[in-house]
Amino acid sequence: MTILSPRQWMAEQLRHGYSLCLVLDAQDQFETRQALAGRRSPDRYSSVCSATPVAELAGIGPFLFILGEGDDDELDRLINAPDCQWGWFASLPEGGLSEWVEHWRERLLIGPRPHQALYRFQDPRVLSRALAYLPVSVVAEYLGTAISVCYWQGACWTVTENPAPGRYPLPPDPAWLHVPAPAQLTAELRYTNAHRYLLAEHLEAYAALAERHPPDLWLTRLLELAERWGWKQAAQLEFLLTQSLQSPDYRLPEWWEVQPGERPSAHFERVYLRTRFCTQGGSR
C-alpha cells in the first residue's frame, strides 16, 4: 500500500504503458457520465449492469471508462471531491477493458436467487475495506486483470498494487463478501440495495408512494424497523417492503409489532403466515 496523489499515480502508470480506467458510481454523477461517454467510442467505456440480470439499472450502475485526452476537467472535479464517494481509479493492460468488465459482472450480484443484492465494488469505502481485510493471496482474484488501483481511503489517497493480475474464476464463497463492515456503511448499502430493488421490481408502486410521502424517509424508517426486529435476510426485507407498499396509507397493522420474547425468526413466520391467511380471505 502506497500513498500517492491520483495525478502522480496516473503519470506513473502511463510511463509503464498501461491504460487508465475510471470506476464511476454514475447514480450521483450523471453529468460526468454524460460528458465522458459523449467523447469516446463505445469500446472505451461500459456499464457493468448492462447484459446482466439487472440491465434495467445500466444507466445508474457502475461505469468503467478508459481515460484519455480531454478528460481533465471531469477528473479534476472528481479528484477534488473525494468524500463524495464517486468511485476510484485502476490501471489495465492496453485493450483490457472488456475482460475487466466481465470480471466485475461475474461479481456484481451476491446472494442466492431470487434474493440477490448488488455488490457495490464501485464504492471506494467497499474497495478500501476489502483490500485492508483480504490476504494478499486473495487480492488478485478480487482485482482481476487490474494492475494497480488508486482510491480515497477516507483520509488520504492510497495505491494498492495487484500482486498477480490475471483472469480468475469467481470462487464459490468469495472472501470479500465476509469483510466486516461498520454499522454506518452497512446501513448505507442496505438502503441502496433496497432502493434499487424497488426501482427494478415495484417501480409503479414506489412512484405512487413518492406522490404522498418522501420515499427516502419512508425507506429509512422501514429499514430501521427491520434492524430493530432482526429481519436481516433478503426475503424478510423484500416482504417488509412489498407489504408496506400495499398497506393503507403505507402503514403496517399493529399486529405486525414484535411480541414480548418473540425471536426474529418466529416473529417473521407469524407475520408472514397471518398476512398470507388474510390475503387469501381467511380473515372474513
Domain-embedded: residue 191? yes
Alpha helices of 23-108 — where are they, by DSSP H? 30-38, 72-79, 97-108
Find the angle CA(61)-CA(63)-CA(64) to the nearest 5 degrees. Answer: 155
Q: Looking at residue 234, what is its pLDDT?
A: 85
- Does residue 134 sit in the same domain as residue 28? yes
Q: Contact at 8 Å (CB) between 144 and 156?
A: no
Cβ neighbors of 41 (< 8 A, separation 6 or more) are none
Domain-embedded: residue 44? yes
- Does residue 18 sit in the same domain as residue 126? yes
Q: Looking at residue 114, what is its pLDDT?
A: 66
Q: What percent of the chain has pLDDT over 90?
A: 77
Q: Looking at residue 281, what is its pLDDT?
A: 58
Q: Looking at residue 2, what is its pLDDT?
A: 65
Of 139, 174, 209, the one marking the end of a domain is: 174
Domain with 260 in it:
183-279
- Does residue 163 sit in the same domain as residue 213? no
Domain-embedded: residue 1? no
Domain-embedded: residue 284? no
Q: Looking at residue 61, what is its pLDDT?
A: 81
Q: What is the mean pLDDT of the chain?
A: 91
- Does residue 167 sit in the same domain as residue 187? no
Q: pLDDT class for 116, splitting at 50, 70, 90?
A: confident
- Does residue 73 sit in the same domain as residue 198? no
- Does residue 192 sit in the same domain as residue 143? no
Is 12's pLDDT higher than 60?
yes
Least confident stretch, 14-23, 97-106, 141-150, 219-228: 219-228
Of 174, 196, 214, the one marking the end of a domain is: 174
Mean of the pLDDT values across residues 42-51?
95
**Phi and psi, residue 49, nearest 5°:** -75, -25
Distance spanning both ends of the chain, measured CA to CA: 65
- Does residue 21 sit in the same domain as residue 161? yes
> Measuring CA to CA, which residue among 133, 224, 231, 135 is closest to residue 183?
224
Q: pLDDT class for 14, splitting at 50, 70, 90?
A: very high
Q: How many domains does the structure of the chain reveal?
A: 2
Q: Looking at residue 284, what is its pLDDT?
A: 34
Distance CA 120, CA 86 (A): 11
Of 174, 209, 240, the one marking the end of a domain is: 174
Q: What is the dihedral of CA 147, 153, 156, 160, to 10 degrees?
A: -20
Mean of the pLDDT values across residues 114-122?
86
H or E element that contains 71: none
- Does residue 143 sit in the same domain as residue 26? yes
- Does residue 209 sit in the same domain as residue 135? no
Q: Looking at residue 189, what is its pLDDT?
A: 79
Q: Looking at residue 282, what is its pLDDT?
A: 47
- Does residue 192 sit in the same domain as residue 170? no
Mean of the pLDDT values across residues 230-246?
92
Cβ neighbors of 82 (< 8 A, separation 6 or more) are 124, 152, 157
Measured between alpha carbons, how far is residue 185 from residues 125, 126, 156, 233, 283 in Å?
Answer: 8, 8, 18, 17, 41
- Does residue 222 sit in the same domain as residue 89? no
